[in-house]
Structure 1
Amino acid sequence: MMHKGDVQYAAGRGPEPRHGDAAHRQEPAPHPHLQCRPHEGVPVERRTDDQRQPGQTREELQFLAARKILHASAAALPLEAMLTTIANILIIAANASTAWLMLLDQGCLRTRAACGECGDHMAGSVCRDPGHPCYLSAVGTQPCVLLPHQIDPDDPVLGHFAGRECAVVLLPLRTDGSPVGAVGLAVSPEHMPDLSRLESLATQAAEAVQGAGRKMPISAWQQTLDTAFGQIAEPVLVFDREGRLVLWNAAAEEMLSHCQVAPGDSIATLLAKSGLTAGQGRPLRPEDCASARALRGERVDNLEEELPTGDGIVRHLLVSAAPLRSDGQIEGAVVVGRDVTHIRELERMRAEFLSAVSHQLRTPLTSVLGFAELLERKAGAGLSGEELKRGLRTIAEQARRINALVTDLIDGSQAEAGHLQLDLQPTDLTELIEDAVSLFRSREPGYVFSLDVRRPLPSVRADRGRIERVLRNLLSNAVKFSPPGTEIVLRAIADPAWVTVSVLDHGFGIAREDIPAVFMPFYRTRQVGGRGIKGIGLGLFMARAIVEAHGGSMWVQSQVGEGSTFYFRLPVAHVC
């Protein structure tokens, strides 16, 4: 048997490992000659009987590109060439190092096409064991995932993947409810592909295999191919051998809609129109972009590029590309982009968070250390009572600052995990609101604080300390982001089900594109009117987490230059 541990079936379904499998045996020793090779670039096609002939029309070239990206059409290719094309498509779609297709044939499972790093090893392999994971996947209905440590080096089909830093994904090929075979992929465990998308491609591949013997005109498949191609979520662009854009999907068209890029544009024209640059805004020459490199025969993986948009936002892309070959000749290139803007924003926020935490800790620690050393030096020199009192007071104040920061971090971690603890008691919100406004009137005399409470407010079940923290955070933010002398208004109204509280300021406001992020942990707005803003970016995240833990909600309305209004509402006690 081939696996050391239990076979993992997606969603916990599918065939279970048979009794007597390797899961119930002694683990075999690692094979001494199986070593993990580095990624070797463009997958090598093991079969070259592609049917495209010289001089084909642009529509036929588009059909070839669509075949390479999605699935092969049995109408235009013999079975073996079609299977090789499907394997190439799966390598691109799953970012796999190896892909192979096995078909059921007289009671056994035969590998009919294999491409990529280990294509030579997989080509021609045969599985006759009905209990083998490949066979179970072929006759089953669910994907199967084998992690590296679960593969037996002595397995005749998959043994060469043992010890490598890759997982094996097996998907059934079924059509009309009947098994056809199985698809196999070698992928990185750290970048496991979306199994639902792969299942969809496997279904299309099975249908193509079933219809391989039926000859149909290209036009009969065009609409189906266009529909499937358009559903790919990532932007996909196809260029011909001269570097002209000949095909793109809906995601690519949407991404480039603001810059008037159109089919027929050259690579240089596309760059000029879109303003596409290399990572960190560095200039990108036409010959250095992913599409041009693919037309020279390279496989490009995760090239960083940046695309400015019409509303001032820069989209960060990881671009991969591969050449489209026919009869050994490069006929074009396919380019796939992955939008990682959100990931880059999280990385920026993490860096700012670490910087802010370091600063917030360093300042009080410096004071604590300084006064401790001062007290130590003067301890034997007749330290006065006043000096001692002042030094100890400073140490205590700074220690409380550090403790508050650590408490914020702990609370933030608990809130993110959904484990925020509450002490719920019947609470009069009117009293909490009036106390909060009174505190800020004395603390911030340079601002005008107004109170508008529609009395009487019904009681709510709340953690008094937590809701006080929410009110203080909203008022503190209003002060931070408003010019001195402006008015800050705290309102509260009630209906039979909810008490709604709002804090309105006339400050700098929040940019529209920043509003979705203001409640994220460690986010600090970049639009602060030129003033230095302290904090680590947990305030609004914690405020919303507290409100939601009470069964309420929080939201914001804002316009740059006019100010912001933050709202939260809590359920009335008798509704809970």
Structure 2
Amino acid sequence: MVRALARSAAAAACLVGLFVWLGWALDVMVLKSMGAAMPVMRPGEALGLMLGGAALGLRLRRDVSRTRHWLGTVLAWATAVLGAASLVDLVLTMGSGGLDALFLRLLDDEGLTQPGLTTSPLTSLCLLLLGPALALLDRGGEARLSWPDGLVSLTLMAALLGLNGFLLGPLGTSTAAPFFFFQERSMGLHTTCVLVLLAVGTLCARPDQGLMARLTRDTLGGFVARRLVPVTLLGPPVLGLTLVLMHLSGTLSHDAKFPLFATVVAAGGATLVLLAARALDLLDSERRKANSALEASEARFRTFLDTAPDPMVVVDASGRLRFANAEAERVFGFRREALLGREVELLVPEGLHGPSPSGPPRATGGRLVTGRRQDGTSVPLEVRLSPLEGAADATLIAILRDVTERRELEKLREEYVGLISHDLRNPLSTINLRAHLLQRALHERKLEREGHMAQAIIHNVEWMNTMIEELLEGSRLESGRVDLRRESRDLGRFLEEVLERDLPPDARERFRLHLEAPLPPVPLDAARLERVVTNLLTNAIKYSPQGTPVDVRLTTVHEQAVVSVSNQGVGLSTQDAAHLFDKYYRTEDGRSADGKGLGLGLYISRLIVEAHGGHIWVESEPDRGVTFFFSVPLEAVAAAPGAASPRQRAG
């Protein structure tokens, strides 16, 4: 509504100015004035309205072209220059020559001696003030008043002074003629109305800053101002117009006009006060209801936190504890009264966001830290952070889960997987050896059919060995106890070697390697990172049409080396893309293409990349191909929990 009012003001100013010029050009009195007894608008004033309206129309939007912005600024300053020239003309010639005489000669009019032609200094003053306000429209602040607001406010006061002089002047005289100091200097009704509308439209052009921001803001002050300001500004003119019309119709005597005006103004003021009081009462009632609901919700929330089975604390933006539940008291040994207001490092010395001593972030979304009890003993914890909805600052809820038992279980699981894998590898090695001997004997006896059966046994033994190795590697990476054997390598040369060494010759020609400018050496565990790259390359071949190219790119983003592998396959659904790196997850196409996999390849790739301090992700749309990305730091750093990937930071 505010922006529509600004557009209407710009259009009205241009149209009124244009009609007045047409009236002077065609000598039509009804276009020059609102009536025979009303003052006539001079050509210079009409031109000023057209310039101001055009400047407002061009400056309504911030994202206009430079040409429109420049043209609007020029027209705004032209409005100010015209207003200043009109004031000087009024002082020097008393309105009998100067600019208006020049305009009338151009229009071939009879001159400035026409009856009803007046010059009001308020009109020129309004144009002089509006010009800079329109030119400086974007200089206002969001929360404070600015020069444009001050200039527009002065313009509005000057225009209302002319309007009130026109409408309220007859209250003090026995006639209904317009009155402002003296009649020949009165503003026309259409002039005052358009100037008021143009001043309001200038304020509405930027409703998010300055004075208009205070009026439109969803606050108590804005609520009251929106109801009182329009009534206080427009109430007296409307009342004066009503009384003048009643006097002209003969229903109101001259002696009764002023007492009636004063009585109505007093009654109106009292009504406004009562309406404001009622609005404040309604707002106060809503505030009390909201506070009651908030207190009830907070009580339920605290009850929920207090009965939670895990230690939970609330930490404010400065890192101080604001709440601790009963389980936190039990685990750490502190009474909650002793914890409130203390820094969170009292419970977690390295902090909730500090480096994890136990490796990369957990696959479950939490991260391992070491807590400290009141007696000084340590306790292993898994931390999960969640922002507190509705909090004014960056308040967090931290769930501190005691993972002592889980660590014991993980240790047992790792030992169990290791024992089982060792026990499986011995018979598999024997089976593999005997199968090779059998295949050789069958080949010597030229038993081709039986030789193919022996080859199938060897292939399945190799597949089982691969699954055992994936289980062992996944278990080692999950435990966070893997020591990476880092060495500084040229990552571009490393990718070339993997393409040459790990791909069959018939598939190698499908790959196109794109390298950025030479990068500094990257510290990496070559054997493990080769496993990641090979996994992505073989997937690209497996799930893309035969003969289509596969692009491998190496770039740098925010001190990270980023490798991408893009194919032209059918793409992934949103659900598959979200879970592709989860443990044991396989897509429908993956299950149909290779029924032997466990769904650990991409999961292990994710753990390897995160162990390097990097990230791995996928971008895909159905029928638009798939692009896998992974990043590793250019310098050896520990994995940073919660850090955004280069793709996320690059936007």
Same fold (TM over 0.5): no
TM-score (norm 2): 0.31
Higher helix share: 2
TM-score by length of 1: 0.34
Could you say which structure has the higher strand fraction? 1
Q: Max radius of gyration: which structure?
A: 2
